[in-house]
Amino acid sequence: CLWCVVYLRCITIANHVKVSLLCSKFKATPFKSVTIPRLELCASEFLSKLISKAVSSLNLKIDKTYLYSDSTIVLSWINTSSDLLKVFVSNKISRIQELMKDLSWHYVKTSENPADIISRGMTPQKLWDNSLWWNGPQFL
């Protein structure tokens, strides 16, 4: 399964910071054997599409957009010229770069990645009480 989560971070006039879950989306993965790095790459493309739609639907001025992945392999692919990569990876990277022009990707520890807590399985009650899910990682 692929999960991605988008948070909105607002700073008030009084300089108070509020981070809230804006949207999340789930996509089933194919039954065929796919490597973990390729699944993580698909998740990054999925996140890029979701952020693109979410931002375009908001009637807000967005100053900065940050994207996070817990896959160092995917992060290295994103920072590599697509002509140096295999076709599948190259196509995904090109699509991500097209959707997220000039935005920077950052590493997030797996333990701080809210999308991963869902993929590991969680009861609705535990999710309801999970601050990481509703408010994102502390560093936001």
Cα gap 137→21, rounded to integer Å: 11
Give me the chain's average pLDDT, please. 90
Give the predicted TM-score (pTM) of the model.
0.87
Total residue length of the chain: 140
Query: In terms of Cα–Cα distance, which of 96, 67, 62 is closest to 5?
Result: 67
In the predicted structure, residue 120 carries a pLDDT above the cut 90: no
The phi, psi pair for 10, rounded to 5°, reads -115, 145
Can you list the domains of the chain with their CATH numbers?
A: 2-131 (3.30.420)
In which residue are the tokens 């009084």 written?
14
Cα gap 131→127, rounded to integer Å: 8
Cα gap 5→68, rounded to integer Å: 10
In tens, the pLDDT along 98-107 reads 888 877 899 9
Cα gap 111→89, rounded to integer Å: 26
In tens, the pLDDT along 48-100 reads 999 999 988 988 888 888 999 999 999 999 988 888 999 999 999 999 988 88
In tens, the pLDDT along 7-38 reads 999 998 999 999 999 999 988 877 677 888 99
Cα gap 135→112, rounded to integer Å: 11
Residue 40 CB neighbours (<10 A): 19
Per DSSP, the residues of 95-124 read HHHHHTTTPEEEE--GGG-HHHHHHT---H
